C-alpha cells in the first residue's frame, strides 16, 4: 500500500529541516526511519531529498508512505456498516458479538477478518489498526487507521484524551438525572478479565452520566455516558458501583437476562482528522435490540 502526501511549505517552516517539519506534522522518528528505506520516499521539488535538507518558502515536499503487508488475518465476509471512509481513516459501526481482533476462540469472526475481506475486495492492502476498541458485545463506532501516519497521530490523540466518545447504555432501575462517578478501578484478584472498584490499589477513573429516559414498566433507564479516563470495563464497573448495572451484562449483572449482551453502544465520536485537521463528528443509531428493550 502507498499513501502520497504533498505539502507546500509556508512561512513558519522556512529553514526547518525536513525531519523537523515531519515531526511537527505527526510523523514519529520510527516512521521517518522507515521512509529512509525506500528510494524517492521523500522528494523536495521533484528531487530525492534527505531529512536534513532545509526548507524554503513555497517548496513542494512529497512523502510517499510505502507499507509492505504481512497479513495473517483470514479474510471473511461478515456484516458490518461503514459510516465514513477516506484515504486515511475508516469509521465502522461494529455489530454485537463481533470481537475486534482474532484470538484463540475467535479466529474468523472478528472485525479484523471482516475488514481484511473488505479491503481485498477493493484490491487494497491495508494493515488492520483499530484505534478505538470495543468489547465483543458492545456495539457502535470504531476508528480504523489505514496507514502508519494516521495511526500514529490518532494514537497520540487517544493518549491525550482528544478523541471524545459518548456511549448509550440501558441500566437497571431509575438513575439520577445526572452525576459523576469518581472511583478507582483495578483487576479483581484471581481474575484475568473482571475489574472492580478498589480504593487502595485501583487506577483513577471518572465517568459522567446523564439520564435520557426512564421506562417505569421495565424499570430501566437509558443513560448517556462520557469517559474522562479509559479503564477496561469502566462504564460497566462504575454503573454497578452505583447500583445501576447494565442490562444483560453477564459479567457484572449475571442475574439479568432481559438482553443477551450488555446494553452498551458507542453512540458518538468527535476528533480532529489526522491528516486534513478537519473536525470530524459521527453518530450511530441505537441498535435494534436496545430499542426493543426500551
Cross-strand pairs, 222: 170, 213
Q: What is the DSSP letter of 199?
A: T
Cβ count within 10 A of residue 22: 23
Going by C-alpha positions, the residue among 227, 229, 245 that lies closest to residue 237 is 245
> Please, is 190 exposed, middle or buried when counting C-beta atoms within 10 Å of its C-beta (0-12, 13-18, 19+)?
exposed
Going by C-alpha positions, the residue among 126, 38, 32, 84 that lies closest to residue 276 is 84
| Rounded Cα–Cα distance for residues 227 and 29 (Å) | 31
Q: Which of 59, 88, 108, 135 is catalytic?
A: 135
46 among known catalytic residues: no
Going by C-alpha positions, the residue among 238, 216, 240 that lies closest to residue 228 is 238
Quick check: helix, strand or coil at residue 228?
coil
* N-to-C CA span, the chain: 45
Which strands make up the sheet holding 47-48, listed edge to edge? Answer: 2-8, 60-66, 42-44, 47-48
Q: What is the DSSP letter of 38?
A: S
Give Cα 135 distance to the centre of its chain.
12
Q: Catalytic residue positions?
A: 135
Amino acid at each position: 500500500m502507498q499513501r502520497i502526501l504533498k505539502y507546500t511549505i509556508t512561512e513558519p517552516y522556512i529553514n526547518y529541516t525536513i525531519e523537523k517539519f515531519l515531526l511537527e506534522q505527526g510523523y514519529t522518528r520510527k516512521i521517518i526511519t522507515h521512509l529512509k528505506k525506500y528510494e524517492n520516499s521523500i522528494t523536495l521539488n521533484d528531487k530525492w531529498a534527505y531529512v536534513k535538507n532545509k526548507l524554503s518558502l513555497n517548496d513542494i515536499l512529497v512523502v510517499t508512505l510505502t507499507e509492505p503487508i504481512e497479513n495473517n488475518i483470514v479474510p471473511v465476509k461478515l456484516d458490518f456498516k461503514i459510516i465514513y471512509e477516506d484515504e486515511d481513516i475508516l469509521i465502522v459501526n461494529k455489530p454485537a458479538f463481533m470481537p475486534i481482533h482474532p484470538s484463540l476462540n475467535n479466529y474468523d469472526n472478528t472485525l479484523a477478518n471482516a475488514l481484511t475481506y473488505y479491503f481485498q475486495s477493493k484490491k487494497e492492502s491495508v494493515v488492520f489498526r483499530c484505534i478505538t476498541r470495543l468489547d465483543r458485545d458492545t456495539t457502535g463506532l470504531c476508528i480504523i487507521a489505514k496507514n502508519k501516519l494516521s495511526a500514529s497521530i490518532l494514537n497520540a490523540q487517544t493518549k491525550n484524551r482528544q478523541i471524545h466518545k459518548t456511549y448509550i447504555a440501558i441500566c437497571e432501575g431509575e438513575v439520577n438525572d445526572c452525576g459523576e462517578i469518581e472511583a478507582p478501578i483495578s483487576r479483581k484478584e484471581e481474575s484475568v478479565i473482571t475489574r472492580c472498584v478498589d480504593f487502595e490499589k485501583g487506577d483513577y477513573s471518572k465517568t459522567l452520566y446523564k439520564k435520557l429516559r426512564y421506562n417505569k414498566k421495565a424499570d430501566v433507564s437509558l443513560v448517556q455516558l462520557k469517559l474522562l479516563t479509559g479503564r477496561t470495563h469502566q462504564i460497566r464497573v462504575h454503573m454497578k458501583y452505583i447500583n445501576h448495572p447494565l442490562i444483560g451484562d453477564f459479567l457484572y449483572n449475571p442475574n439479568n437476562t432481559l438482553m443477551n449482551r450488555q446494553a452498551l453502544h458507542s453512540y458518538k465520536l468527535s476528533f480532529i482528522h489526522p491528516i486534513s485537521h478537519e473536525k470530524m463528528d459521527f453518530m450511530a443509531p441505537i441498535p435494534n435490540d436496545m430499542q426493543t428493550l426500551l
